[in-house]
Amino acid sequence: MSIDILAPVGNAEMLTAAVYSGADSIYCGLKGFNARQNAENFDGDALQRAVSFCHARNVKVNVTLNTLLYNKEIPEFIQSLRAVCSAGADAVIVQDLAAAKLVKSLAPSIELHGSTQMAVHTLEGALALKELGFSRVILARELSREQIVYITKNCGIETEMFVHGALCVCLSGQCYMSAFLGGRSGNRGLCAGTCRLPFKNEGVAYKEHALSLKDLSLVPYLQEIKEMGVSCIKIEGRMRTPEYVATAVTACRNSLQGNTFDEELLEGVFSRSGFTDGFYTGNVTKEVFGRRTQENMDDTKQTLPKVRELYRRELQKVPVHFTLTFDDETITLHAKTDTETVELQAPHDKQTAQKDPSEAYKKSLSKTGGTPFYSEGIEIQNPANIFIPASTLNDLRSRLLENLLNKREIPSPHFFDEEKAVAYTEEYTATKKSGITKSTLPISFRVRLAGIFQLSEDLMNDESIAYFVLPLREAGSIPESLKAKTILELPRSMFNGTDELKKDIEKAKTLGFTAFEAGNIGHIPLLEGLHIHGGFTLNVANSLASNTYAEMGVESLTLSPELPLENIADIQESTAVTTGILGYGHLPLMLTRACPVPAGELETEQDKAFLTDRKNAEFLVQKAEGAYHIHNPIPLYMGDRLHEVPCSFVTLYFTAEEQDEVKTIFEMFKKEKPFEGPYTRGLYYKGAI
């Protein structure tokens, strides 16, 4: 069973380091639409050179196109996809279902990989991607070995997992902290690393940097991971150095081969107070937290020069079979690899060797240093025992291998459907309304409650509320009179599997509930045949994605809260589903499995704890379904701007508010009154970069 080592590449030097040190695959980004916009990245021409370089050496190239798209960006995305196809890359990595739809429609021969930004952490999530045409899913980093085995054995597509590099504290794709606090969206490829800043709590060793995790390293477990059936092991780090890449690739190669690897060297090139095995072993304690110290930086400065030898010479990974044939007047050297065959001829002077020269010829042909080739076999056909000088054969071998390399570097473009591309481009470059205008749409209200404790008699009897949204776990407590207008919210965190979740859904159905909210793509297969409403954590940012969800059975969608209103208006004009936005709430900025506060403070889901940032803002932390939600200290509020909301419904998203506060805020909202106290408009007017 084979497994690929997938290395990060942010520029040309990192490319050389990754390939020369022995990576089986690399992943890189174009300039735009990738989750590391601050890396140097590649333009179309540079990508083509990179693919040619890699393919000549049996290295695959996966291109990241894994950011959320706006409607107006779809024509530019199509241009990027065209460049990827022209270069002949092996796969594209996407987060947005619009990107997936375009890849399958315009470039059906290129492999489609689901980004870790899709937050797939259940078998159902992987199966949903398979149904959409994905050939690989990049699993969430929060999974245990048992969960990885279960998904890998049952999903029917390839699985890929991170084994080394930076570990985000938040489930990838579910972090809004950088966007809401700094205007830089991680889902758009510009994460500001807000979690690495000081966040204080009390009573634990990591209290000054309570959201900063150590780097992940599963290098000691790679033989076990290979046996699990995982197709690809991934190294994080497109923003790091060539030395880092070469060291990590070398360590992975050694581990897979059963050899020792230099963990001290690996830690020296980059670490944050050492490494963690994260969630893989299930032993998540405060030791998972760590930050980059001055000592770490000093170690890196001393270590980098030591590891450059790892990629100074090219690792020979391409087997070649030589056949050397002599006839009356010429010699022919023939070389064959897995994909190409070349040959060269030269005259000889008919000089007869005094003894059989075959071993000398084999020795000369095996000298392939300085190339990506190694001799897999040598056949000599010399019935007349002809002699040629070593210099002649060496020259012939060198020229032949150069020709072979050049031939292997010729691009093999993918088919790209230009006719469909023109149609999509015309559709998404149509004139749209720009700026904020008065909406003429009737707005309905949805009230999301954290629990039945927030539900007052007045709220129950308010006919202006179209739907209540309540957690699935509250189904047994919801009054009979509200069942017809209640949407049950499935838990975003499903790290304990879905067996109990399936039972809870079935129980809710027997109680008379038919409407459910999906906040993860893995929820949708669980809700087949029911009324499905999409939550904001599906991160829908364009009408092509919303229409794809409609095809999957979703009836309404709460759009991404990172969207400006003018982009929301674009979606509303061209979508097949009912759309809405969050209008109020201390929004959950993070969903994490690592508890950022002393665990005893959050023994139940009713308990509260707080983190304090460097500006003394207090972030509420709550436990839910075995994970932790970190909320924005300042509430979003659009009650006095309802006339500018260009969609069909607005959800008030209550979290820890008391019953009287819920009632007061909803009354203010209905009457379109200004908010009393600090509040934010979020990103509705300025957007996120």
Q: Over the stretch 61-112, which tens digit does the pLDDT of each residue have?
A: 999 999 999 999 999 999 999 999 999 999 999 999 999 999 999 999 999 9
- The answer to whether the predicted template modeling score (pTM) of the entire model surpasses 0.85 is yes
Nearest residue to 7 via CA among 280, 315, 370: 315
pLDDT (0 to 100) of residue 287: 86
- CATH class assigned to 443-584+636-689: alpha beta
Neighbours of 79 (CB within 10 A): 14
C-alpha separations of 309 from 305, 315, 418 in Å:
8, 12, 46
Identify the sign of the CA torsion 586, 587, 588, 589: negative
pLDDT (0 to 100) of residue 573: 87
The fold adopted by the segment(s) 4-167+213-314 is TIM Barrel (3.20.20)
Q: Where are the beta strands (DSSP E) in 25-135?
A: 25-29, 60-64, 91-94, 111-114
pLDDT (0 to 100) of residue 175: 96
Helix or strand (DSSP H, E) at 236: none
* DSSP code, position 129: H
C-alpha separations of 19 from 219, 242, 269, 550, 689 in Å:
19, 11, 18, 42, 33
10-residue block means of pLDDT along the chain (689 residues)? 94 97 96 68 92 98 96 95 97 98 98 98 98 98 97 98 96 96 91 92 69 96 98 96 97 96 95 94 85 94 94 95 94 94 92 94 96 96 94 95 96 97 92 57 92 96 96 97 97 94 98 98 98 98 97 97 95 91 98 87 84 92 91 97 95 97 96 95 89
586 DSSP β-pair partners: none
- Domain spans of the chain? 4-167+213-314, 318-408, 443-584+636-689
Neighbours of 162 (CB within 10 A): 23
pLDDT (0 to 100) of residue 286: 80
| DSSP annotation string for 526-583 | GGTTSEEEE-GGG---SHHHHHHHHHTTEEEEEPPTTS-HHHHHHHHHT-SSEEEEEE
Counting Cβ atoms within 10 Å, is residue 484 exposed (0-12), middle (13-18) or buried (19+)?
exposed
Long-range contacts of 352-355 (CB under 8 A, 24+ apart): 352/384, 352/385, 352/386, 352/387, 353/385, 353/386, 353/387, 354/387
Q: Over the stretch 174-188, which tens digit does the pLDDT of each residue have?
A: 999 999 998 999 999
Instruction: Please name the residues in contact with 510: beta carbons below 8 A apart, sequence gap of 6 or more.
Output: none
4-167+213-314 and 443-584+636-689 share one fold: yes
Counting Cβ atoms within 10 Å, is residue 479 exposed (0-12), middle (13-18) or buried (19+)?
exposed
Mapping DSSP onto H, E and C, the string for 410-476 reads: CCCCCCCCHHHHHHHHHHHCCCCCCCCCCCCCCCEEEEECCCHHHCCHHHHCCCCEEEEEEEHHHHH
Are 169 and 211 in contact by the 8 Å Cβ rule? The answer is yes
Q: How far apart are CA 463 and CA 446, in angstroms?
A: 11
* DSSP code, position 174: -
Q: How far apart are CA 336 and CA 156, in angstroms?
A: 34
